[in-house]
Amino acid sequence: MNMPFEFIVTEAVDAVATIRLARAPVNVLHGPMMREISTALDWASSSQDIRTVVITGQGMRVFSAGVEIADHSPEMVEQSIEDFAVLLRKLQDFSLPTIAALNGATLGGGFELATACDMMLSVPDAKIGHPEIKLASIAFFGILMLQRRLPANVITELLAGGEPLLGADAHRLGLVNELVSKENFEVDVARFASRFARMSRPVLQLMMKTLRLARGKSLETGVDEATGLYLSELLPLEDVAEGLSAHAAKRPPAWKHR
C-alpha cells in the first residue's frame, strides 16, 4: 500500500496487512492518526490480496499510550469522540479477522483500539489497562467493549482501580489469545496471522459476517438467519467445491477466492 501516511506505516506480506502505529514517542492517538488507520482498513477490506489485518506499534516499547490529552479539551472533545467511535466501530464490524499485536504498553485509548480487534497477542510484560480513573476520567468505550471479553468483577477491578494487567495475566484471563516473545515478536505474530491468511477470502469474510450476526443470539434466535447465509451465500461459492475436492483427494486446496 503506497500512501503518504504520516502517523502509521503499512505493509502487506503473504496476504497479511500490517498497520504499525508510528507517532513517536508513545503512539498517542489523535484525529488525523485515527483517520489514517481508518483509511488503511478500507484499503485492506477492498484488496483481494489481503485476508487478515494486524495492528501493532513500531519498535518494542509501546503499542499506544492512549488518546491525545489535548483532544479532551471542551472545543475538541466531541470531534475526538466521534473520530474514535467511527474507527472502533469499523474495527468491530470489519470484514476480515483483525489482530492487535501488543508489543509494549497498551493503555487507555490504545487498549480500546486493541479491544476493538477480534484477537490479541501480547509480549508477557506489556502493561495493559485503563488508568483513566486516576485522572478523574472514565473509559466509556473500554467499559462497553470489555463486556464481551472479561468477567464483570475483573472489569470493575481493572477500570475502578486503574492498575494495568501484564500481558501474561491478560492471557491467563482469556483476553489475550497467545503470548509472543520479544525476541521473535515479528516471526510469532506472522505465524499466528498466517493461519487465517491461508483461507479462502470470501469464505473467511462470510465467517466473520456470521460471527458478527451471532452477537447476543442463541441457536433459537439465530438459526434462520444462519441457515439463510449458508444456503444463499456460502454454497454458491466456487471455493466450497474446491474445499470438498481437496479434502477427498487429500491435497492442499487451490483457492480461487470466489
98 Cβ neighbours under 8 A, 6+ residues apart? 52, 53, 54, 55, 91, 116, 117, 118, 119
Task: Check residue 239 and give its pLDDT.
Answer: 97
Q: Of 175, 197, 219, which marks where a domain is finished?
A: 197
Closest by CA position to 167, among listed 63, 21, 52: 63
Other C-beta atoms closer than 10 Å to the C-beta of 43 total 17
pLDDT for 3 beyond 80: no
For residues 70 and 125, membership in a common domain is answered with: yes
Q: Residues 88, 213: one domain?
A: no
Q: What is the mean pLDDT of residues 50-66?
A: 96
Q: Is the per-residue pLDDT at 76 higher than 90?
A: no
Look up the pTM and report it: 0.94
Residue 71 pLDDT exceeds 70: no
What range defines the domain where residue 231 resides? 201-249
Q: How confident is the model at residue 4 (pLDDT cuts 50, 70, 90)?
A: confident
pLDDT, greater one: 216 or 2: 216
The band of 79, judged by pLDDT with boundaries at 50, 70 and 90, is: confident
What does the alpha-carbon distance between residue 102 and residue 57 come to, in Å, rounded to a whole number? 7
The CATH number of residue 160's host domain is: 3.90.226.10
Do 130 and 13 lie in a common domain?
yes
d(CA 258, CA 256): 5
Question: What pLDDT score was predicted for residue 2?
Answer: 58
Confidence of residue 148 (pLDDT cuts 50, 70, 90): confident
Say yes or no: 147 and 240 in one domain.
Answer: no
Domain match, 16 and 140 both: yes
CA dist 141 and 148 (Å) reads 12
92 and 220 belong to one structural domain: no
Of all helices (H) and strands (E), which one includes residue 107? strand 105-107
How many domains is the chain built from?
A: 2
Over residues 83-142, the pLDDT tens digits come to: 999 999 999 999 999 999 999 999 999 999 999 999 999 999 999 999 999 999 999 999
Whether 2 maps to a domain, the answer reads no
What pLDDT shows up at residue 131? 96
The answer to whether residues 188 and 127 belong to one domain is yes
Mean pLDDT of 147-169: 96
Residues 21 and 148 in one domain: yes
| C-alpha to C-alpha distance for 201 and 175, rounded to whole angstroms | 26
pLDDT at position 70 is: 67
- Polymer length of the chain: 258
In a domain, 86, yes or no: yes
159 and 40 co-located in one domain:
yes
Residue 95 included in any domain = yes
Does 133 lie in the same domain as 86? yes
Residue 9 reports pLDDT greater than 70:
yes
Using DSSP, state whether 64 is helix, strand or coil: strand
The per-residue pLDDT for range 191-206, each reduced to its tens digit, is 999 999 999 999 999 9
Domain annotation covers residue 254? no
